[in-house]
Amino acid sequence: MKVNGFPNNIPEFANNKPKKINSTEKFGDLISDFVKDVNRDQLRSNEMVNDFLTGGDVELHEVMIAGEKAKTSLQLLMEIRNKAIDMYKELIRIS
């Protein structure tokens, strides 16, 4: 049995590389970009579910992976928000 190489349609998240952060980039910009990425993941997941349900060219495992990616990125965003709120409360308490 001959095994061919990976197809050209490797999911996009496998090709993502960590972003290099410049010291001049503001924290607010980082959070804003992250929120946009989470929103994009959520929209992509919804789009894939709709495509799957309407009989589009989407496999079930791709839908599940997109859904889990969206879920995980949202959970991370919520944890970052919680830690930021805790940090703010601690700073207020110290002042």
Is 90 part of a structural domain of the chain?
A: yes
Statement: residue 5 has pLDDT above 80: no
Q: How far out from the chain centre does Cα 22 lie? A: 21
pTM of the predicted structure, to 2 decimals? 0.68
Is 13 part of a structural domain of the chain?
A: no
Residue range of the domain that includes 32: 26-94
The most distant pair of C-alpha atoms in the chain lies apart, rounded to whole Å, by 70
Is 36 part of a structural domain of the chain?
A: yes
Statement: residue 18 has pLDDT above 70: no
- If pLDDT is split at 50, 70 and 90, which confidence band does 61 have? very high
Q: In whole angstroms, how large is the CA radius of gyration of the chain?
A: 19
Number of structural domains found in the chain: 1
Please tell me the number of Cα atoms within 13 Å of 6 on its side-chain side: 6
